[in-house]
Amino acid sequence: MSDTFAIGELGRATDTKVETVRYYERIGLLSQPRRTSGNYRAYDRGHLNRLSFIRRSRDLGFSLDQVRALLDLADQRDRPCEAVDEIARGHLAEVERKIADLEALRDELRGMVRQCGHGSVRDCRIIEALSPGDALAAAPG
């Protein structure tokens, strides 16, 4: 096996649909690979790493714009660190906020699932937990 990959191989290696790979290229997130004589895209290991990074970041809830910023950050290894440090700190704060949000969500879901008595929907605590509280459910007066 050579050092280049067709788009399908790249897709399988990164769990990305072929159309999505082309989409990333179209919006400039993934650089244009060289083409074979038959006009097929020929990717190298750099593309593979970059795409892996993109996919994982997306999975973690970063927007494409944020992924772009992260990639720039990773690319500017020669630059003095200060400008980059700020971006990194910003991302760190955001990641920490995201973790906190998800943990709160997880706790709620855990509470729901734990309380589920496996009875009928009538007694289902999950549904109950999702239903509005007193302030909205009951009319005053």
Q: Select from its own copies, DNA, none the partner in contact with residue 84, using the beta carbon and a kind-dependent cut-off of 5 to 8 Å.
A: its own copies
37 binds, among DNA, its own copies, none (CB under 5 to 8 A by kind): DNA
Is the distance from CB of 10 to CB of 21 less than 8 angstroms? yes
From the list its own copies, DNA, none, partner contacted by residue 81 (C-beta under 5 to 8 A by kind): its own copies
Measured from the CB of residue 73, what is the shortest distance to its own copies in angstroms? 6
Task: By CB under 8 A, tell whether 134 contacts its own copies.
Answer: no
Amino acid at 80: P
For the CA atoms of the chain, what is the radius of gyration? 23
- In this structure, the number of other CB atoms found within 10 A of the CB of residue 67 comes to 19
Site for its own copies in 44-73 (CB under 8 A): 45, 48-50, 52-53, 56-57, 59-61, 70, 73
C-alpha 27/C-alpha 23 separation (Å) is: 6
Candidates 31, 36, 76, 115; binder of DNA (CB under 7 A) is: 36
CA 71/CA 95 separation, integer angstroms: 16
Which window, 35-43, 88-96, 110-118, 124-132, contacts DNA (CB under 7 A)? 35-43
Residue reference for tokens 């700190």: 89
